[in-house]
Chain A
Amino acid sequence: MFKLFEPNKIFKITSRATKYVLFLFIVVLSVGLLEALVLSPEDYKQSDAVRIMYVHVPAAWISLGIFSSITFFSICGFIFKNKNFFLISKSLAPSGFVFNIIALVTGSIWGKPTWGTWWAWDARITSMLILVLFYAMYIIVWRIYDKEEKVYRISTFITILGIINVPIIKYSVDWWNTLHQPASINILSKSSIHSSMLYPLLIMTAAFTLFSLLIFLMKYNTELIKIKNKGLDRL
């Protein structure tokens, strides 16, 4: 099964896929922006401020998804002693980090007109802030340590610690009294969001997913070339 993850095979696909993903991302993002900024209706309570949701929510979802993936691949790399899993984790981190910052900043901008404040030490917001710190620690570890084994061990440890925070983020709005509203979209039960707002939200989520895929592919290719550069040094 792990032959599928061999860098030799992956590089050929990833290096060609980038331009198609970029094209698809631009198309989906353009449709998403048109829907989010022009075509979707305003909210009866929040008026046009609700449009911030179309960037805030997908960014938050994707940052959580990417952190979960990083943890999964790091643990797999540790269990199966496969270096490529760590490389995948490392390549996912930059986009997850940026999405987490986008979620925090756009949430703060949304907070001003709706709650009357830029920031509150609320359970959801604070736990998202903690997640960005875990992302930062993960990225820094890869930069400061040279020994691969040490990096693998410490970065996996950080992801395992950080993943504890993910369900806290998800359920923080249910467990504590927070300023943040509870989830409007449920996979298992009926969502409380109207389809005229749900579809633009899903289109923007698709665009953001494509962007994270694009960055992942570019970063992964860079990492592979870095390894090959080291290989040339040894010749």
Chain B
Amino acid sequence: MNEILFMNGYGVYVLSAFSFTLLSFLGLYLVTKMQFVKEKNKFITKFGTLTTEQANFAKLQRINKEILSKVTNN
């Protein structure tokens, strides 16, 4: 195990490069996920304020239906 981490003295460089990469992935994933959830919640809130007539009209659009079905699935 020590040998794998030490890597002939290059461990600190190799592991920091891999760590930076994985942390960047995690950061980007979380930021993108947060933006998605934020927009979805905004959509739900706005949809909730619509009148029955407006809501029925909005539901005619396939994407709106999809977004709402994802909400109910979650």
Q: A8 an interface residue at 8 Å Cβ cutoff?
A: yes
Main secondary structure of the interface of A (DSSP, over half): helix
Task: Mark contacts of A20-40 with chain B using CB atoms, 8 A cut-off: 1 yes-contact digit, 0 otherwise.
Answer: 000000000000010011100
**Binary A-proximity of B31-74 (CB < 8 A = 1, otherwise 0):** 01101100110110011001000100110011110110010000
**Number of chain A residues close to chain B: CB under 8 A:** 45
Query: B69 to chain A: closest CB distance in Å?
Result: 9
Q: Are A229 and B63 in contact (CB under 8 A)?
A: no
Cβ < 8 Å to A, chain B residues 1-33: 4, 7-11, 13-14, 16-18, 20-21, 24-25, 28-29, 32-33
The answer to whether A7 touches B17, judged by C-beta atoms less than 8 angstroms apart, is: no
With a CB–CB cut-off of 8 A, which chain B residues contact A219?
32, 35
Interface of B is mostly: helix
**Which of chain B's residues have a CB closer than 8 A to the CB of A122?**
none
Q: Is A70 an interface residue (CB 8 A)?
A: no
Asked whether B63 lies within 8 Å of A224 as measured between CB atoms, the reply is: yes
Report how far A56 CA is from B66 CA in the complex, Å. Answer: 38
Q: Establish whether residues A12 and B20, one from each chain, have CB atoms under 8 Å apart when the complex forms.
A: no
Residue of A nearest to B4 (CB): A38
- By beta carbon, the residue of chain A nearest B39 is A225
Shortest Cβ distance from A12 into B: residue: B66
With contacts A8-B63, A215-B28, A232-B43 taken as known, whether A48 is within 8 angstroms of B20 at the C-beta atoms is: no
* Chain A neighbourhood of B67, CB < 8 A: 225, 228
Query: Which residues on B are within 8 Å of A, measured CB to CB?
Result: 4, 7-11, 13-14, 16-18, 20-21, 24-25, 28-29, 32-33, 35-36, 39-40, 42-43, 46-47, 50, 54, 57-58, 61-64, 66-67, 70
A-B contact pairs, 23 of them (CB 8 A): A33-B18, A37-B4, A47-B7, A47-B9, A48-B7, A49-B14, A51-B7, A51-B10, A51-B18, A55-B18, A59-B21, A95-B28, A98-B28, A109-B13, A110-B13, A215-B28, A218-B33, A224-B63, A225-B43, A226-B39, A228-B61, A229-B46, A235-B57
List of 8 A-B pairs having minimum Cβ-Cβ separation, nearest first: A48-B7, A106-B17, A48-B10, A49-B10, A225-B39, A55-B21, A232-B46, A8-B62
Further pairs besides A102-B20, A109-B20, A233-B46: 11, Cβ < 8 Å = A11-B63, A49-B10, A51-B14, A51-B18, A52-B17, A109-B16, A113-B10, A113-B13, A228-B43, A229-B43, A232-B58
Q: Which residues of A contact B (CB under 8 A)?
A: 7-8, 11-12, 15, 33, 36-38, 42, 47-49, 51-52, 55-56, 59, 94-95, 98, 101-102, 105-106, 109-110, 112-113, 211, 214-215, 218-219, 221-222, 224-226, 228-229, 231-233, 235
